[in-house]
Amino acid sequence: MKLSGGVEWALHCCVVLTAAADPIPAARLATLHDVSPSYLAKQLQALSRAGLVHSVQGKTGGYVLTRAPAEISVLDVVQAVDGANPAFTCTEIRQRGPLGTPPEQCTGPCPIARVMGAADAAWRASLAAVTIADLAASVTTDSGPEALPAVGAWLARDPD
Amino acid sequence: MKLSGGVEWALHCCVVLTAAADPIPAARLATLHDVSPSYLAKQLQALSRAGLVHSVQGKTGGYVLTRAPAEISVLDVVQAVDGANPAFTCTEIRQRGPLGTPPEQCTGPCPIARVMGAADAAWRASLAAVTIADLAASVTTDSGPEALPAVGAWLARDPD
DNA sequence: CCAAACTCGGACAAGTTCTATCCGAGATGC
DNA sequence: GCATCTCGGATAGAACTTGTCCGAGTTTGG
Protein backbone atom coordinates (compact mmCIF):
# COMPACT_ATOMS: atom_id res chain seq x y z
CA MET A 1 0.00 0.00 0.00
CA LYS A 2 1.97 2.92 -1.25
CA LEU A 3 1.09 6.07 -3.13
CA SER A 4 3.23 7.46 -5.91
CA GLY A 5 5.58 10.12 -4.61
CA GLY A 6 4.74 12.42 -7.49
CA VAL A 7 1.29 12.99 -6.02
CA GLU A 8 2.73 15.29 -3.39
CA TRP A 9 4.57 17.37 -6.01
CA ALA A 10 1.49 17.62 -8.20
CA LEU A 11 -0.69 18.82 -5.33
CA HIS A 12 1.81 21.48 -4.33
CA CYS A 13 2.00 22.64 -7.94
CA CYS A 14 -1.77 22.94 -8.18
CA VAL A 15 -1.90 25.02 -5.01
CA VAL A 16 0.78 27.46 -6.15
CA LEU A 17 -0.76 27.70 -9.61
CA THR A 18 -3.73 29.18 -7.79
CA ALA A 19 -1.68 32.31 -7.22
CA ALA A 20 -0.56 32.71 -10.84
CA ALA A 21 -2.63 33.90 -13.78
CA ASP A 22 -0.01 33.56 -16.51
CA PRO A 23 1.41 30.22 -17.66
CA ILE A 24 4.24 28.93 -15.45
CA PRO A 25 6.96 26.68 -16.95
CA ALA A 26 7.66 23.34 -15.33
CA ALA A 27 11.28 24.32 -14.73
CA ARG A 28 10.22 27.29 -12.63
CA LEU A 29 7.94 25.14 -10.48
CA ALA A 30 10.82 22.70 -10.02
CA THR A 31 13.11 25.51 -8.85
CA LEU A 32 10.48 26.75 -6.43
CA HIS A 33 10.10 23.31 -4.84
CA ASP A 34 13.74 22.25 -5.26
CA VAL A 35 12.91 18.98 -6.99
CA SER A 36 14.06 17.24 -10.18
CA PRO A 37 12.81 19.30 -13.16
CA SER A 38 12.64 16.30 -15.47
CA TYR A 39 10.54 14.22 -13.16
CA LEU A 40 8.21 17.04 -12.20
CA ALA A 41 7.59 17.54 -15.92
CA LYS A 42 6.33 13.98 -16.04
CA GLN A 43 3.75 14.66 -13.33
CA LEU A 44 2.58 17.83 -15.04
CA GLN A 45 2.14 15.89 -18.25
CA ALA A 46 -0.15 13.53 -16.37
CA LEU A 47 -2.17 16.49 -15.11
CA SER A 48 -2.37 17.79 -18.65
CA ARG A 49 -3.55 14.44 -20.00
CA ALA A 50 -6.26 14.38 -17.35
CA GLY A 51 -7.40 17.85 -18.40
CA LEU A 52 -6.70 19.49 -15.04
CA VAL A 53 -4.13 21.93 -16.43
CA HIS A 54 -3.73 23.44 -19.86
CA SER A 55 -0.28 23.47 -21.44
CA VAL A 56 0.91 26.43 -23.50
CA GLN A 57 3.95 26.08 -25.72
CA GLY A 58 6.36 28.67 -26.96
CA LYS A 59 8.54 31.24 -25.30
CA THR A 60 5.93 32.46 -22.80
CA GLY A 61 4.44 29.00 -22.37
CA GLY A 62 3.84 26.90 -19.30
CA TYR A 63 0.95 25.45 -17.34
CA VAL A 64 -2.33 27.04 -16.20
CA LEU A 65 -5.23 25.56 -14.26
CA THR A 66 -8.13 24.85 -16.60
CA ARG A 67 -10.88 25.20 -14.00
CA ALA A 68 -11.44 27.29 -10.93
CA PRO A 69 -9.57 25.94 -7.87
CA ALA A 70 -12.90 25.21 -6.18
CA GLU A 71 -13.80 22.92 -9.08
CA ILE A 72 -10.70 20.71 -8.78
CA SER A 73 -10.80 18.10 -6.05
CA VAL A 74 -7.78 16.46 -4.46
CA LEU A 75 -9.09 13.17 -5.78
CA ASP A 76 -8.85 14.49 -9.33
CA VAL A 77 -5.14 15.19 -8.88
CA VAL A 78 -4.44 11.89 -7.14
CA GLN A 79 -6.18 9.89 -9.84
CA ALA A 80 -4.48 11.83 -12.61
CA VAL A 81 -0.99 11.10 -11.30
CA ASP A 82 -1.39 7.74 -9.60
CA GLY A 83 -4.03 6.20 -11.83
CA ALA A 84 -7.67 5.46 -11.13
CA ASN A 85 -7.27 1.73 -10.51
CA PRO A 86 -8.59 0.53 -7.16
CA ALA A 87 -5.94 -0.58 -4.67
CA PHE A 88 -7.45 -4.04 -4.32
CA THR A 89 -8.15 -6.33 -7.26
CA CYS A 90 -10.10 -9.53 -6.67
CA THR A 91 -8.61 -12.54 -8.47
CA GLU A 92 -11.66 -14.72 -7.80
CA ILE A 93 -9.90 -17.16 -5.55
CA ARG A 94 -13.28 -18.57 -4.56
CA GLN A 95 -13.59 -20.12 -8.04
CA ARG A 96 -10.25 -21.93 -7.85
CA GLY A 97 -9.12 -25.11 -6.18
CA PRO A 98 -10.92 -28.40 -5.49
CA LEU A 99 -13.79 -26.72 -3.62
CA GLY A 100 -14.09 -23.75 -5.95
CA THR A 101 -17.49 -22.13 -6.22
CA PRO A 102 -19.03 -22.64 -9.69
CA PRO A 103 -18.91 -19.48 -11.81
CA GLU A 104 -22.71 -19.47 -12.24
CA GLN A 105 -23.06 -18.89 -8.49
CA CYS A 106 -20.65 -15.92 -8.58
CA THR A 107 -23.03 -13.24 -9.71
CA GLY A 108 -21.84 -10.41 -7.47
CA PRO A 109 -18.41 -9.63 -6.01
CA CYS A 110 -17.17 -11.85 -3.19
CA PRO A 111 -17.45 -10.63 0.43
CA ILE A 112 -13.78 -9.72 0.65
CA ALA A 113 -13.96 -7.64 -2.53
CA ARG A 114 -17.05 -5.89 -1.17
CA VAL A 115 -15.27 -4.86 2.01
CA MET A 116 -12.16 -3.66 0.21
CA GLY A 117 -14.29 -1.82 -2.31
CA ALA A 118 -16.19 -0.03 0.44
CA ALA A 119 -12.93 1.04 2.08
CA ASP A 120 -11.65 2.32 -1.25
CA ALA A 121 -14.87 4.27 -1.74
CA ALA A 122 -14.49 5.85 1.71
CA TRP A 123 -10.93 6.85 0.87
CA ARG A 124 -11.96 8.40 -2.43
CA ALA A 125 -14.94 10.19 -0.85
CA SER A 126 -12.63 11.73 1.73
CA LEU A 127 -10.34 13.04 -1.00
CA ALA A 128 -13.20 14.20 -3.20
CA ALA A 129 -14.58 16.36 -0.38
CA VAL A 130 -11.54 18.67 -0.44
CA THR A 131 -10.71 21.01 -3.30
CA ILE A 132 -7.58 22.87 -4.30
CA ALA A 133 -9.29 26.05 -3.13
CA ASP A 134 -9.69 24.51 0.32
CA LEU A 135 -5.98 23.70 0.38
CA ALA A 136 -5.12 27.26 -0.60
CA ALA A 137 -7.33 28.54 2.20
CA SER A 138 -5.56 26.25 4.67
CA VAL A 139 -2.19 27.56 3.56
CA THR A 140 -3.43 31.10 4.16
CA THR A 141 -4.59 30.12 7.64
CA ASP A 142 -1.28 28.39 8.42
CA SER A 143 1.25 30.81 6.94
CA GLY A 144 -0.63 34.10 6.79
CA PRO A 145 -2.52 35.99 4.06
CA GLU A 146 0.62 37.20 2.30
CA ALA A 147 2.16 33.78 1.75
CA LEU A 148 0.40 32.71 -1.46
CA PRO A 149 0.55 36.15 -3.18
CA ALA A 150 4.27 36.23 -2.46
CA VAL A 151 4.69 32.91 -4.25
CA GLY A 152 2.61 34.21 -7.15
CA ALA A 153 4.83 37.27 -7.43
CA TRP A 154 7.97 35.15 -7.32
CA LEU A 155 6.65 32.89 -10.08
CA ALA A 156 5.84 35.89 -12.32
CA ARG A 157 9.25 37.47 -11.77
CA ASP A 158 12.03 36.82 -14.30
CA PRO A 159 14.43 34.02 -13.40
CA ASP A 160 17.50 35.21 -11.55
CA MET B 1 -1.67 3.19 -5.13
CA LYS B 2 -1.58 -0.55 -5.06
CA LEU B 3 -2.14 -3.13 -2.37
CA SER B 4 0.02 -6.21 -1.99
CA GLY B 5 -1.56 -9.18 -3.73
CA GLY B 6 -0.90 -11.41 -0.75
CA VAL B 7 -3.57 -9.57 1.23
CA GLU B 8 -6.30 -11.36 -0.66
CA TRP B 9 -4.77 -14.74 0.04
CA ALA B 10 -4.31 -13.98 3.73
CA LEU B 11 -7.93 -12.89 4.13
CA HIS B 12 -9.23 -16.02 2.45
CA CYS B 13 -7.02 -18.12 4.72
CA CYS B 14 -8.32 -16.41 7.83
CA VAL B 15 -11.91 -17.03 6.76
CA VAL B 16 -11.40 -20.72 6.10
CA LEU B 17 -9.42 -21.14 9.31
CA THR B 18 -12.66 -20.16 11.01
CA ALA B 19 -14.04 -23.57 10.05
CA ALA B 20 -11.08 -25.56 11.38
CA ALA B 21 -10.21 -26.27 15.00
CA ASP B 22 -6.98 -28.23 14.44
CA PRO B 23 -3.81 -26.68 12.98
CA ILE B 24 -3.81 -26.53 9.18
CA PRO B 25 -0.49 -26.66 7.27
CA ALA B 26 0.29 -23.92 4.80
CA ALA B 27 0.61 -26.44 1.97
CA ARG B 28 -2.97 -27.60 2.50
CA LEU B 29 -4.29 -24.03 2.37
CA ALA B 30 -2.31 -23.51 -0.83
CA THR B 31 -3.89 -26.60 -2.40
CA LEU B 32 -7.34 -25.46 -1.38
CA HIS B 33 -6.86 -22.07 -3.03
CA ASP B 34 -4.68 -23.31 -5.91
CA VAL B 35 -1.91 -20.79 -5.28
CA SER B 36 1.86 -20.97 -4.92
CA PRO B 37 2.62 -22.83 -1.64
CA SER B 38 5.94 -21.06 -1.11
CA TYR B 39 4.51 -17.59 -1.43
CA LEU B 40 1.45 -18.32 0.66
CA ALA B 41 3.82 -19.49 3.39
CA LYS B 42 5.34 -16.02 3.38
CA GLN B 43 2.00 -14.38 4.00
CA LEU B 44 1.19 -16.77 6.84
CA GLN B 45 4.53 -15.97 8.40
CA ALA B 46 3.53 -12.33 8.37
CA LEU B 47 0.27 -13.19 10.11
CA SER B 48 2.24 -15.18 12.65
CA ARG B 49 4.64 -12.31 13.31
CA ALA B 50 1.65 -10.02 13.88
CA GLY B 51 0.20 -12.46 16.40
CA LEU B 52 -2.99 -13.12 14.47
CA VAL B 53 -2.31 -16.82 14.00
CA HIS B 54 -0.35 -19.26 16.11
CA SER B 55 2.08 -21.59 14.38
CA VAL B 56 2.52 -25.16 15.53
CA GLN B 57 5.52 -27.16 14.35
CA GLY B 58 5.96 -30.88 13.98
CA LYS B 59 4.09 -33.58 12.19
CA THR B 60 0.56 -32.42 13.13
CA GLY B 61 1.54 -28.76 12.95
CA GLY B 62 0.09 -25.85 11.03
CA TYR B 63 -1.68 -22.57 11.71
CA VAL B 64 -4.57 -21.74 14.04
CA LEU B 65 -6.29 -18.45 14.72
CA THR B 66 -5.17 -17.03 18.06
CA ARG B 67 -8.33 -15.06 18.79
CA ALA B 68 -12.01 -15.47 18.11
CA PRO B 69 -12.95 -14.50 14.53
CA ALA B 70 -15.05 -11.63 15.88
CA GLU B 71 -11.92 -10.23 17.55
CA ILE B 72 -9.87 -10.05 14.33
CA SER B 73 -10.59 -7.10 12.05
CA VAL B 74 -9.87 -6.97 8.34
CA LEU B 75 -7.56 -4.06 9.10
CA ASP B 76 -5.46 -6.31 11.32
CA VAL B 77 -4.86 -8.71 8.45
CA VAL B 78 -4.16 -5.96 5.92
CA GLN B 79 -1.64 -4.26 8.18
CA ALA B 80 0.04 -7.55 9.05
CA VAL B 81 0.66 -8.44 5.41
CA ASP B 82 1.04 -5.08 3.75
CA GLY B 83 2.63 -3.13 6.56
CA ALA B 84 1.20 -0.37 8.72
CA ASN B 85 2.87 2.53 6.91
CA PRO B 86 0.49 5.20 5.65
CA ALA B 87 0.12 5.40 1.88
CA PHE B 88 1.19 9.04 1.79
CA THR B 89 4.43 10.32 3.28
CA CYS B 90 5.01 14.07 3.49
CA THR B 91 8.52 15.08 2.45
CA GLU B 92 8.11 18.63 3.76
CA ILE B 93 8.31 20.29 0.39
CA ARG B 94 7.12 23.53 1.99
CA GLN B 95 10.49 23.85 3.75
CA ARG B 96 12.50 23.54 0.53
CA GLY B 97 13.33 25.96 -2.25
CA PRO B 98 13.93 29.73 -2.23
CA LEU B 99 10.57 30.50 -0.60
CA GLY B 100 10.67 27.61 1.87
CA THR B 101 8.79 28.06 5.10
CA PRO B 102 11.18 28.23 8.10
CA PRO B 103 11.13 25.04 10.17
CA GLU B 104 10.10 26.92 13.32
CA GLN B 105 6.80 27.80 11.62
CA CYS B 106 6.13 24.16 10.72
CA THR B 107 4.71 22.97 14.01
CA GLY B 108 1.91 20.79 12.66
CA PRO B 109 1.59 18.79 9.45
CA CYS B 110 1.07 20.73 6.23
CA PRO B 111 -2.45 21.02 4.74
CA ILE B 112 -1.81 18.40 2.10
CA ALA B 113 -0.57 15.90 4.65
CA ARG B 114 -3.63 16.58 6.78
CA VAL B 115 -6.00 15.79 3.92
CA MET B 116 -4.16 12.64 2.93
CA GLY B 117 -3.97 11.56 6.55
CA ALA B 118 -7.71 12.01 6.98
CA ALA B 119 -8.38 9.92 3.89
CA ASP B 120 -6.07 7.22 5.18
CA ALA B 121 -7.89 7.26 8.52
CA ALA B 122 -11.24 6.87 6.75
CA TRP B 123 -9.88 3.90 4.81
CA ARG B 124 -8.58 2.24 7.95
CA ALA B 125 -11.78 2.91 9.87
CA SER B 126 -13.78 1.24 7.11
CA LEU B 127 -11.58 -1.85 7.30
CA ALA B 128 -11.54 -1.90 11.10
CA ALA B 129 -15.33 -2.01 11.20
CA VAL B 130 -15.45 -5.47 9.61
CA THR B 131 -14.23 -8.63 11.32
CA ILE B 132 -13.34 -12.08 10.04
CA ALA B 133 -16.55 -13.32 11.67
CA ASP B 134 -18.51 -10.84 9.53
CA LEU B 135 -16.81 -12.17 6.42
CA ALA B 136 -17.64 -15.74 7.40
CA ALA B 137 -21.27 -14.73 7.88
CA SER B 138 -21.32 -13.13 4.44
CA VAL B 139 -19.95 -16.30 2.90
CA THR B 140 -22.74 -18.25 4.56
CA THR B 141 -25.29 -15.80 3.17
CA ASP B 142 -23.80 -15.99 -0.31
CA SER B 143 -23.05 -19.70 -0.67
CA GLY B 144 -25.37 -21.34 1.86
CA PRO B 145 -24.96 -22.64 5.42
CA GLU B 146 -23.14 -25.81 4.38
CA ALA B 147 -20.32 -24.09 2.47
CA LEU B 148 -17.93 -23.26 5.31
CA PRO B 149 -18.40 -26.55 7.23
CA ALA B 150 -17.66 -28.41 3.99
CA VAL B 151 -14.36 -26.54 3.68
CA GLY B 152 -13.59 -27.33 7.30
CA ALA B 153 -14.20 -31.02 6.70
CA TRP B 154 -12.03 -30.99 3.59
CA LEU B 155 -9.19 -29.35 5.50
CA ALA B 156 -9.34 -31.94 8.27
CA ARG B 157 -9.39 -34.84 5.83
CA ASP B 158 -6.13 -36.57 4.94
CA PRO B 159 -4.48 -35.35 1.74
CA ASP B 160 -5.46 -37.36 -1.31
C1' DC C 1 9.47 37.57 -43.22
C1' DC C 2 13.13 34.90 -40.87
C1' DA C 3 15.74 33.09 -37.27
C1' DA C 4 16.60 32.06 -32.64
C1' DA C 5 15.18 30.66 -28.19
C1' DC C 6 12.25 28.61 -25.15
C1' DT C 7 8.41 25.47 -24.22
C1' DC C 8 6.09 20.84 -23.90
C1' DG C 9 5.73 15.80 -25.23
C1' DG C 10 6.94 11.16 -25.48
C1' DA C 11 10.68 7.64 -25.66
C1' DC C 12 14.74 5.76 -22.96
C1' DA C 13 17.72 3.63 -18.66
C1' DA C 14 18.52 2.90 -13.39
C1' DG C 15 16.90 1.84 -8.81
C1' DT C 16 13.74 -0.19 -5.71
C1' DT C 17 9.93 -2.82 -4.26
C1' DC C 18 7.07 -6.75 -4.81
C1' DT C 19 6.74 -11.62 -6.29
C1' DA C 20 8.17 -16.23 -6.16
C1' DT C 21 11.31 -19.92 -4.57
C1' DC C 22 14.44 -22.76 -2.00
C1' DC C 23 16.79 -25.10 1.78
C1' DG C 24 17.95 -25.42 6.83
C1' DA C 25 16.28 -25.46 12.05
C1' DG C 26 13.04 -27.39 15.15
C1' DA C 27 9.44 -30.24 16.91
C1' DT C 28 6.30 -34.15 16.87
C1' DG C 29 4.81 -38.95 16.58
C1' DC C 30 6.10 -43.80 16.04
C1' DG D 1 16.08 -42.91 18.69
C1' DC D 2 14.70 -42.01 14.11
C1' DA D 3 12.20 -40.66 10.34
C1' DT D 4 8.97 -37.30 8.84
C1' DC D 5 6.63 -33.36 8.65
C1' DT D 6 6.25 -28.52 9.97
C1' DC D 7 7.63 -23.54 10.09
C1' DG D 8 11.24 -19.76 9.48
C1' DG D 9 14.39 -16.86 7.27
C1' DA D 10 17.68 -16.08 3.55
C1' DT D 11 18.01 -16.10 -1.57
C1' DA D 12 17.07 -15.05 -7.10
C1' DG D 13 13.77 -13.08 -10.63
C1' DA D 14 10.15 -9.90 -12.39
C1' DA D 15 7.47 -5.72 -12.42
C1' DC D 16 6.88 -1.21 -11.30
C1' DT D 17 8.22 3.34 -9.89
C1' DT D 18 11.68 6.80 -10.23
C1' DG D 19 14.70 9.69 -12.77
C1' DT D 20 16.66 11.41 -17.25
C1' DC D 21 17.24 12.66 -21.97
C1' DC D 22 16.52 14.58 -26.65
C1' DG D 23 13.25 15.87 -30.54
C1' DA D 24 8.71 18.51 -32.29
C1' DG D 25 6.23 22.72 -32.04
C1' DT D 26 5.32 27.57 -30.99
C1' DT D 27 6.16 32.28 -29.85
C1' DT D 28 8.95 36.48 -29.57
C1' DG D 29 12.04 39.81 -31.50
C1' DG D 30 14.71 41.88 -35.28
Closest nucleotide (C1' vs CA) to B81 is: C18
Give A2's contacts in chain B (Cβ within 8 Å). Answer: 1-2, 85, 87
CA distance A47 to chain B (A): 17
pLDDT of the residue at A160: 63
Per CB-CB distance under 8 Å, the chain B contacts of A98 are: 31-32, 154
Say what the pLDDT of residue B160 is.
64
How far is Cα of residue A60 from the mean position of the Cα atoms in its chain? 25
CA-closest candidate to residue B53, choices B93, B16, B91: B16
Q: How far apart are the C-alpha atoms of B149 and B127, rounded to whole Å?
A: 26
Those residues of chain A that have pLDDT short of 70 are 159-160
Burial class (CB in 10 A: 0-12, 13-18, 19+), A84: exposed
**Residue nearest D20, CA–C1′ metric:** A38
Supply the pLDDT for residue A158: 77
- Which pLDDT score, from 0 to 100, does residue A125 have? 98
Average pLDDT, chain A: 95
Whole-model pTM? 0.93
Please name the amino acid found at residue B35: V
Say how far A155 CA is from C1 C1', in Å: 34
Q: State how far the Cα of B13 lies from the Cα of B7, in Å rounded to an integer.
A: 10
Query: What is the SS3 assignment for A6?
Result: helix
Residues of chain B falling short of pLDDT 50: none
User: Of all helices (H) and strands (E), which one includes residue B93?
Assistant: none
| Positive or negative: CA dihedral B12, B83, A43, A141 | positive
Q: Which residue's CA shows the smallest distance to C1' of C23? A: B38
pLDDT tens for A40-54 read 999 999 999 999 999
Can you give the distance from the CA of residue A141 to the C1' of nucleotide C20 in angstroms? 50
CA distance linking residue A130 with residue A113, whole number of Å:
27
